[in-house]
Chain A
Amino acid sequence: MRSSPDKGGPLLEVCGLDAFYGDFQALYQVDLTIQEGQTVAVIGANGAGKTTLLRTLCGLLAAPAESIRFAGIPVGGEPAYRIVARGLAMVPEGRKLFPSLSVEENLLAGAYNRRPGPWNLDAVYRLFPILLERRRQPATQLSGGQQQMVAIGRALMSNPRLLLCDEISLGLAPIVVREIYQLLPEIRAHGTSFLIVEQDIRQALSAADWVVCLQEGRVSLQGKPTELTHEQIVYAYFGV
């Protein structure tokens, strides 16, 4: 599949990625490229392989070493705890905050293996002021939207070059989703690139400068959101 114009080495390069859950193949020859500073959205129906893709990228699922290159280095199959140190962080589906930890402790957990960079507790609280008020509360006691902020803040604490966001709109009210997406440009301004997996197609298309559509484990469409027609997307999404 065509990659976007070269701006020096790509930040993330996925080539011919196959992913398996035991005997079941979930991804077939997926190609994907993210340049530094880009926001790429991955859309697709349930079961299309979006979460599988993210799990493979962040090391929770096995993959051949060469099929994933981060900043030029093959990282496929590396254990997840090592990939974070390279500058790749994930906001997992369903937030997955640590119930035994407070808001602030969750954020600090994200800094366990941090890289140098602009993100620290103060910076995160500036981005999400509501969290400063609630920083001592058990993280899972917060509302859905606030938990999502904690999850994003926690991922930012490691100062990633690439942030993987798995369905951050899931289970949240539209207003809250918009609020969160409005903050993405500010995060981007600090030098973070994004790979966003979304069910909310409208939000994905408006936030991204490149869109990849998955269908049953295969890339069915790629392109700039502005250059893709509605019919193309529907066809790529559903296959009908």
Chain B
Amino acid sequence: MAEWLNTLIQGLLLGGLYALFATGLSLSFGIMRMVNVAHGDLIVLAGFGAVSAMAPALAGAGAASWLGWLRLLPVIVAMALLTYGLQRFVLNRTLGRDILSPLLVTFGLSIILQNAMLEVFSADVRRLDSGALAVSRWQLGAGISIGFLPLLTALCAVGVIVALQWVFRATTLGRAFRAVSDDPQTAQLMGMNHGRLYAMAMGIAGAVTALAGILLIMRSAVAPTDGPARLLYAFEAVIIGGLGSLWGTLAGGVLLGVAQAIGAALDPGWGVLAGHLMFLAVLMLRPNGLFPKTRDQ
């Protein structure tokens, strides 16, 4: 019994990580109706960037100090600027033309990123050593325990979503995001520069993606070619949860995580497959996801 509870908890917390993966994607889906095929690779890039940034702080024996961890902030900022620039100077040129172009450009980008990382970092897996953080667990008694890092990740996911929901509901920028997502042409009539807004949305998505990448690489070893798998999990989480709803994305991530955890508990090789099968099941039964909010024109 305790084993199954542990599996469930593991799945829930894994879902937190997947929700974090998915939030960035959900933003670009929701606001720009665009699929960023390079999304997973950006997660990996952020992870590798974090490893490089932290290398000097971890060079000595023992764990890094608090100040050392601040080195991660530039990674997040850099990723935000990268995605902002990507949208503003490259992807904005493809929007509105046809559905294929943004997809193809980001696919090309994905291949570029993967191979560039292979060249720079070689095919080895890397991990960000967070010392005690990575292995500490809270023992709740009766054989049930919660990993500290997974819990932190899940809390970050919730925190990010709460913050983003606040931005959407209560700020002028958030209102502009919602308007431009509803109707980009009419939004222009209000004086909203849709290109600039898309770029800002991608910048925010980039920052969230960077956080996801950092938390990922603290928890598991990552190889340069691990991006596409992350993209698929993110995508599945968004679709399961329903387009246009950040809380839906959280739910989708959690469901995916739980499905994978249960699958893996039954047989180690079936974990990821179980997640895919659940995604397909939701697709067949509820094509709009479980909590859809966007009306697709």
A and B assemble together: yes
The chain B residue with its CB closest to the CB of A86 is: B191
**In the bound complex, what is the Cα–Cα distance between A108 and B192 (angstroms)?**
12
**In the bound complex, what is the Cα–Cα distance between A26 and B295 (angstroms)?**
32
Query: Which residues on B sit within 8 Å (CB–CB) of A109?
Result: 175-176, 179, 187, 190, 192
- A158 on interface, CB distance cutoff 8 Å: yes
Contact indicator B175/A105 (Cβ below 8 Å): yes
Asked, given contacts A96-B183, A99-B295, whether A81 binds B175 with beta carbons under 8 Å apart, the answer is no
Asked, given contacts A98-B182, A99-B295, A100-B181, whether A113 binds B175 with beta carbons under 8 Å apart, the answer is no
The chain B residue with its CB closest to the CB of A158 is: B191
Contact indicator A101/B182 (Cβ below 8 Å): yes
Which residues between 170 and 217 of chain B lie within 8 Å of chain A, taking CB atoms?
172, 175-176, 178-179, 181-183, 185-194
Q: How far is the CB of B247 from chain A (nearest CB, A)?
A: 15
How many residue-residue contacts, CB under 8 A, span A and B? 70
Query: Which residues on B sit within 8 Å (CB–CB) of A85?
Result: 191
Contact indicator B191/A112 (Cβ below 8 Å): yes
Q: How many residues of B contact A (CB 8 A)?
A: 20
Contact indicator A81/B186 (Cβ below 8 Å): no
Query: Which residues on A sit within 8 Å (CB–CB) of B295?
Result: 99
Query: Which residues on A sit within 8 Å (CB–CB) of B175?
Result: 101, 105, 108-109, 112
Which residues between 93 and 107 of chain A lie within 8 Å of chain B, taking CB atoms?
96, 98-101, 105
Q: How far is the CB of A76 from chain B (nearest CB, A)?
A: 16
- A48 on interface, CB distance cutoff 8 Å: no
Interface string of A107-127 (1 = CB under 8 A from B): 011101110000000000000
The chain A residue with its CB closest to the CB of B194 is: A81
Asked, given contacts A98-B179, A101-B179, whether A81 binds B191 with beta carbons under 8 Å apart, the answer is yes
Which residues of chain B have a CB within 8 Å of any CB of chain A? Answer: 172, 175-176, 178-179, 181-183, 185-194, 293, 295
Closest 3 CB pairs of A and B: A113-B191, A84-B191, A80-B188
